[in-house]
Structure 1
Amino acid sequence: MSVFRTRPEAPSWLGVRALAFTAVLCVACSDGKPKPVPPPPEGVDVRVDLLKAAGDCILGTARDFLPKATTLEQRTAALRDAPDAAAQAAARTAFHEAMDVWQTMEAMQVGPAAPRSSPGGAEIRDNIHSFPLYNRCSIEEQIVSKGYESASFSTSLVTRRGFLALEYLLFYEGAETVCGPNSAIVAQGTWAALSAEERAARKRAYAAVVAADVRNRAQALVDAWAPESGDFLKTLATAGSGNKVFPTTQVALNAMSDALFYVEREGKDQKLARPLALRDCASDTCPELLESQFAGRSKQNLHLNLVGFRRIVDGCGPDYTGIGFDDVLAAAGAEAVATRLRQQVLEAEAALAAVEEDDLRQALAQDKASVQAVYTEFKGITDLLKTDFITTLDLEPPAGLEGDND
């Protein structure tokens, strides 16, 4: 965890912090609810330190991802050109290693990785990993049509590309299609006409194209952030007057807060609630709605999402040291909120560790209660985000979150 540090160039901030803390205590005495504290004086704003540290963390993680994506591209090309068991195992290992880093980045969707509706958003994330948008039939139609050979494939629907398509292509070995009778590949019999050998060869070729596209997106993400190119690092660090993307520090903090809500939208609601039949599922469970359908890594993904979350909340250094949102909370006299949030993340980690099965698909079938416990602890995190966290820091909830009381 990180520790609040008074900046030496402005010792008067000690007095400001003390007054702010007293104000919070007094308000708390009246109704027990956290209230936002005015920002500290100009020149002693720990929020600026957070923006710089978070930018360094995001760029550093993107740089970690790029060589993993490069290896994935190389291994899938090798599998395409000389398929054997060893090449397949190497490609699958490269997939896991790249996905490990990417899942850590999922709660860091600020700027170029974020949707275009967000400040500085360029949708790089959705082009690398489109979850929860997924369409297996669309992938199988590409196998038949060889659409992946088209020069325009990189601009095709995201459900045909990215990690979800790659996971199917590298890990699924079944012969059937999920496409319905109205799909051309079923109605015209073109899927059934493919021999097992031809289908496997096309999947390998398709995987190599997808991996190359992922690698190109990884490079684009690094380029967007790096000082020597797009320098979004500077854009985030210099939020304020004159900054066209982040005209105020608060706008930048809101963008970072929105990214943290990944654990609410995709984590709690998509990765857990839907498979648990808490929403959008008419059965006792819906394992077909898990994030990882074929590589069996849904549990690992959730763990890594929490790792990335903590790097922004507690600090990106070893053992989560360094500047994080917890320092901003402490500066606002609300260190107790940071402590509670940190403890809730640890409880979610413990609940994940308590799921004995490596694959959540097995856990849903054999011990649904253990997966339900993970959901409950994730809800504990998001309840804090939606209340004390954004209230104390005077942040706006992400668009679409209003009215979500689960």
Structure 2
Amino acid sequence: MSRSAALAAVALLALAPGCAITPIEDARQELLLSWGAWLLDRYDATAAAADALETQVEALCAAPDAAGLAAARDAWDAARRPWKEAEVFAFGPYSEEPIRLGPKVDFWPARPDSVRAVLADTAPIDASQLGAPAKGFAAIELVLWDPDGAPLAALAAEPRRCAYLAAVVPDLAARVRELRAVWDPAGQDFLGELTAAGERDTQYASLQLAFGEVVNRVGYLLENIRAEKLGKPLGVTAGSAQPERVESPFSGRGLGDIRDNLVGARRLLLGDGAGDLGLDGYLRGRGRHLAPLLTARFDAALAALDALDAPLTAAIEADPASVEALFDRVGELQRAVQVDVLGALSVTVGFNDADGD
């Protein structure tokens, strides 16, 4: 489904008979509808890229060579990008039981021993029977960038590695589509829990609470980047440096993951300039002009990220001062969201329930 089609579908929720909503609530609802359409689009892009990854992995396993390995790695990266942009929505069916699909797609920190245990076993591989640490992005990453040796030689010498990829790569696409279906108004409609809050019996008692949930999640994401993705590996929030805790450690994509997170957060707050709504327009309507502050803070964080020209693990060891600068800039952006933005919206900073996986 295209983004415009998704927006049209979720907009029907706002037009249900008997709905009496104030103009301010209409604006909040319109934002939630736009954000929901964007989320569905990001999940569509992830699933489509995961399908392409499956095709590349099949070709690689049929004839292992350097070009095939590079193509499979590029396909993994292409699937990773829209998924990480959407991480601000890591709540509801992403993280909560009984569904909790997020860790099945993107378990972190990675647990290499869980993957190696499957590779060392001889039983048939059934992705539905694997625990979250043994499948998803991190598991596929380990096989394609094996830190223990030459991944291409291992793929050629150990048929089980290709059998493993043949099980977990399609499962990745399936779990992303399952998560999308839970959010989809035409599916289980978790999105309606937000957009129809206060109009029907939903998880959120009012549209203000639903709206505050999403805006709070932007702050949580920035807090997680600062404390978990940078602070713990750097040793700032964990007592001693733990570079092995970086995200996407085998591919060296940790900084790319952070960049994609920031792109997604910026999209929600500032829009994309192509008709998709951002929170800044709503704030302007309330007489609060925070776009210059937010733009400056995003630009500063991205500039600090761009100043790092090595994978995050290497940068922590070779240039910790530059990583600390990124840590500080993300902290300044986090404060702008959790103090200035939430204050302007009369939204209380909530409890960050993220647990790192």
**2:177 counterpart letter in structure 1:** Q
Percent of residue pairs bearing the same amino acid type: 28
Q: Residues 91-143 of structure 1, C-alpha deviation per residue, up to 9 Å, x if partnerless?
A: 11110111112111112335433x217xxx842222111223x2111211111
Which residue pairs with 1:332 in the alignment?
A: 286
Secondary structure of the residue aligned to 1:68 is helix
Deviations 1:138-182 (A, max 9, x none): 2111111246x344x425321111111111111115259xxxxxx
How far apart in 1 are the matches of 2:219 and 2:157? Answer: 40
Shift in CA distance, 316/128, structure 1 to aligned 2, threshold 3 Å: farther
Q: Do the aligned partners of 1:314 and 1:322 also contact (CA within 8 Å) in 2?
A: no
The 1:129–1:146 alpha-carbon spacing in structure 2 relative to 1, beyond 3 Å, is farther
State which drifts further: 288-297 or 321-330: 321-330
C-alpha contact (below 8 Å) 1:166/1:210 kept by paired residues: yes
Which of structure 1's runs of 4+ aligned residues deviate more than 6 A? Answer: none
In structure 2, distance between residues paired with 1:332 and 1:43: 12
Moved more, 270-279 or 41-50: 41-50
Partner of 1:165: 139
Gapped regions of structure 2 (runs ≥ 5): 1-20
In structure 2, how many angstroms separate the alpha carbons of the residues matched to 1:258 and 1:123?
Answer: 20
Q: Distance in 1 between matches of 2:200 and 2:154?
A: 60
The AA in structure 2 aligned to 1:92 is R
Greater relative contact order, per chain length (Cα 8 Å cut-off, separation 6+): 1
Matches of residues 195-344 of structure 1 in structure 2 within 5 Å? 200-282=158-240, 285-318=241-274, 322-336=276-290, 338-344=291-297
Closer, same or farther in 2 for the Cα pair 1:85/1:155, shift >3 Å?
same
Query: What is the deviation of 1:73?
Result: 1.9
Taking structure 2 as the reference length, what is the TM-score of the superposition?
Answer: 0.83
In structure 2, the residue matched to 1:386 is: 338
1:299–1:360 contact (8 Å) kept in structure 2: yes
Is residue 90–residue 102 contact of structure 2 (8 Å, CA) maintained in 1?
A: yes
Q: Give the whole-Å Cα distance in 2 for the aligned partners of 1:259 and 1:207.
A: 33
Structure 2 CA distance for aligned equivalents of residues 95 and 58 of structure 1: 20
Asked if structure 2 preserves the Cα contact closer than 8 Å seen for 1:103 and 1:305, the reply is: yes
Name the CA shift for 1:362/1:310 in 2 (closer, same or farther; >3 Å).
same
The answer as to 2:140 corresponding to 1:140 is no
Is the contact made by 1:56 and 1:233 (CA closer than 8 Å) also made in structure 2? Answer: no
2:238 is aligned with what amino acid? D
Q: 1:131 to 1:261 in 2, by over 3 A?
A: farther
In structure 1, C-alpha distance between the alignment counterparts of 2:179 and 2:68, rounded to whole Å = 28
Residues in 2 aligned to 1:128 and 1:275: alpha-carbon distance in whole angstroms: 22
Q: Distance in 1 between matches of 2:136 and 2:256?
A: 18
Task: Please state if 1:62 is matched with 2:43.
Answer: yes
- Tell me, yes or no, if the aligned pair for 1:80 and 1:205 is still in contact at 8 Å: no
Q: Say if 2:318 is the partner of 1:362.
A: no
* Distance change >3 Å, CA 399–CA 220, structure 1 → 2: same
Structure 1 match to 2:22: 42
1:197 and 1:366 mapped to 2: Cα distance? 32
Deviations 1:12-68 (A, max 9, x none): xxxxxxxxxxxxxxxxxxxxxxxxxxxxx8134321111111111111111121210
Deviation per residue, 1:317-349 (Å, 9 max, x gap): 53xx5322223322333223x432232111101
The verdict on how the C-alpha distance between 1:317 and 1:89 changes in structure 2, with shifts beyond 3 A counting, is same
Distance 1:390 1:155 in 2: 42
- The whole-number CA distance in structure 2 between the counterparts of 1:144 and 1:60 is 38
Please name the residue that 1:372 is paired with. Answer: 324
| CA distance in 2: counterparts of 1:262 and 1:204, whole angstroms | 37
Residue 198 of structure 2 contacts residue 205 of structure 2 at CA under 8 Å; is this kept in 1?
A: yes
Deviates more, 1:84-93 or 1:258-267: 258-267
The match for 1:187 is: none
Aligned pairs (5 A) from 1:93-172: 93-113=74-94, 115-116=95-96, 122-132=99-109, 134-146=110-122, 149-151=124-126, 153-172=127-146
Aligned-partner Cα distance in 1 for 2:108–2:287? 37
Q: Cα–Cα, structure 1 residues 89 and 388, in superposed 2: closer, same or farther, change >3 Å?
A: same
CA 144–97 in structure 1, closer or farther in 2 if over 3 Å, else same: same
Q: In the TM superposition, what is the alpha-carbon distance from 1:88 to its structure 2 partner? A: 1.7
Note if contact 2:64-2:156 (Cα within 8 Å) is conserved in structure 1: no
Which structure 1 segments of 5+ residues have no match?
Answer: 1-40, 177-194, 402-406
Residues 110 and 255 in structure 1, CA contact (< 8 A), matched pair in contact too = no
The residue type equivalent to 2:120 in the other structure is: V
From 68, 73, 89, the equivalent of 1:87 is 68
Distance 1:93 1:77, change over 3 A: same
Look at both structures and tell me which one has the larger radius of gyration over its CA atoms: 1
For the structure 1 residues 96 and 197, does the alpha-carbon distance in structure 2 shift closer, same or farther, using more than 3 Å as the test? closer
